[in-house]
Structure 1
Amino acid sequence: MAEESEVSSLAPPGSYGRSDEELAWHIPNASRPKKSNKCLVYILAGIVIQSIILLSFASVVLRVTTPAVKLRWVAVKNLKYDSTTPSSSLNATLIAEVTVKNTNFGRFEFENSTASFIYGDMKLGDMKIGTGRVKARETNRVNVTAEVRSNGLPDNMNLSSDIGSGTLELRSYAKLSGRVLVMKIVKKRETSEMNCSMTLNLTRGEIQDLLCN
């Protein structure tokens, strides 16, 4: 018995075995910083994705472009002409279809305007384009009429020789002003211009080679 007590007394103090809970308490938790870093990465990634979405939305949906105005077709009615010098004359009724194409993601509201038919640098007649509204990403068609008269043209316009050749080179010009409204966020004024060239065939009484820029 004396030997056993002597052996047990040699054990250093505090050498008793620790429980698993005590060991876990003293071991540093290395996984906590990793979880925090992952959360931070997810948050930053979410912010970046949202920023990309907002920028794409602003650059595509909220971006405003100028609507396009063009002549789709022109019909000739009541054509009368005289190539006799110096009383050469031209009278006709031109019926046309004007298209207003709106590629924006908001409607385009335009004001009263006119389109002119021009020979050389002189105006032959006007056609009225009333107020209107074009829905988002749609095209409106407007029928217009112009009475074309050569009265008042100067003698140096060579109208007589052009009528004698059977064709007249004409132009049509219009300026359409209005505003584009996108989702009640963007309101921007836009002005569209139409420049078209065409050939009036007097023999056939029709418009040919209609081209709009």
Structure 2
Amino acid sequence: MDIESDKLPLTPGKIHPRSNEEAFAKMMNPKYRLSRRRQQGTSGGKCFVYVFLFIVLLAAAALIFSIAVLRVERPHVKLTSISVSRLSYIAASPVYTFNASLSVLLAIDNNNFGRYRFEESRATISYDNWTIGGGRIFGDRARAREVDRFNISMDVKSVDGLSSNQNFSSELNSGTVNLNSYAELNGRVRIMKIVNKLKKTVMNCTMSLHLQTRQVHNLICF
């Protein structure tokens, strides 16, 4: 028997499309293209949302910074203590007069995030709208977020017109004289070289001067 005649013919194998042809056919499929569009649209939408959220957070941070840090408030000024270094008075009709030297501690409460540099000014002492004395406030600066204190010397001398004032003569006889103190400060608040704003602050104080004890009581500033 012929050996070669016993061999069976080989069956041709199946031919598979190449990978690039499969990919091209897949891309041309309408369902695949629709799915890709949806995926791209979802990805682009997420990117837009992230950018939008970042802008919102950045704007919120800038707003908080401007409100909390860059906002400028009026510093508060008040007298915290007064000591009498010299006092003399006469309470005998028809002469009613008194002279005094006061050592005053002036406090400036600067609640801003920048220093407050104020100009030279003057604090006055008055009785019943009569200015009877005062002292010089030297120009200086108050630190940021601090309460700085400054020493002031005031001289008080009653004027001639007060001798005929019944309230004044009555208070001298009682041993207690009610006084007022007033001051205005003009200055600028500087914050981080960004803000440079002019601010004016006003001080009004009332007090009672006890002539015999040479002490000041009921000191109230507003």
TM-score, normalised via structure 2 length: 0.84
The aligned counterpart of 2:81 is 73
Distance in structure 1 (CA, Å) of the matches to 2:58 and 2:70: 17
Q: Count the aligned residue pairs.
A: 198
Aligned-pair distance for 1:107?
Answer: 1.1
CA RMSD of aligned residues (A): 1.7
Q: Aligned with 2:87: secondary structure?
A: strand
The 10-residue stretch of structure 1 (72-81 or 150-159) with the greater mean CA deviation from structure 2: 150-159
Does structure 1 residue 21 correspond to structure 2 residue 19?
A: no
Matches within 5 A, 1:104-183: 104-158=112-166, 159-183=168-192
Is this contact kept in 2: 1:120–1:157, CA < 8 A? Answer: no
Aligned-pair distance for 1:17?
Answer: 7.8
Does structure 1 residue 205 correspond to structure 2 residue 214?
A: yes
1:176-198 CA-to-partner distances (Å, cap 9, x unmatched) read 11111111111111111000001
Distance in structure 2 (CA, Å) of the matches to 1:171 and 1:98: 15
Is this contact kept in 2: 1:100–1:141, CA < 8 A? Answer: yes
The 10-residue stretch of structure 1 (111-120 or 24-33) with the greater mean CA deviation from structure 2: 24-33
Q: Work out which of the two has the higher radius of gyration on C-alpha atoms and give 1 or 2.
A: 2
Distance in structure 2 (CA, Å) of the matches to 1:23 and 1:62: 63
Distance in structure 1 (CA, Å) of the matches to 2:86 and 2:71: 45
Is this contact kept in 2: 1:198–1:209, CA < 8 A? Answer: yes
Q: Aligned with 2:201: secondary structure?
A: strand
The 10-residue stretch of structure 1 (163-172 or 77-86) with the greater mean CA deviation from structure 2: 77-86
Aligned-pair distance for 1:109?
Answer: 0.6
The aligned counterpart of 1:100 is 108
The amino acid across from 1:94 in the alignment is: L
Aligned-pair distance for 1:155?
Answer: 3.5
The aligned counterpart of 1:31 is 39
Aligned-pair distance for 1:161?
Answer: 1.5
The aligned counterpart of 2:11 is none
Is this contact kept in 2: 1:102–1:135, CA < 8 A? Answer: yes
The aligned counterpart of 2:91 is 83
Aligned-pair distance for 1:153?
Answer: 3.0
Distance in structure 2 (CA, Å) of the matches to 1:17 and 1:110: 88
1:85-127 CA-to-partner distances (Å, cap 9, x unmatched) read 1111111111110011111111111000010111111111111
The amino acid across from 1:180 in the alignment is: V
Does structure 1 residue 50 correspond to structure 2 residue 27?
A: no
Gaps of 5+ in 2: 1-15
| Match among 41, 45, 49 for residue 41 of structure 1 | 49
Query: CA 1:135–1:24 in structure 2 vs 1: closer, same or farther (change >3 Å)?
Result: farther
Aligned-pair distance for 1:22?
Answer: 4.1
| Match among 201, 204, 216 for residue 195 of structure 1 | 204
Q: Aligned with 2:94: secondary structure?
A: coil
Aligned-pair distance for 1:140?
Answer: 1.4
Is this contact kept in 1: 2:96–2:169, CA < 8 A? Answer: yes
Distance in structure 1 (CA, Å) of the matches to 2:221 and 2:174: 24
TM-score, normalised via structure 1 length: 0.87
The amino acid across from 2:23 in the alignment is: E
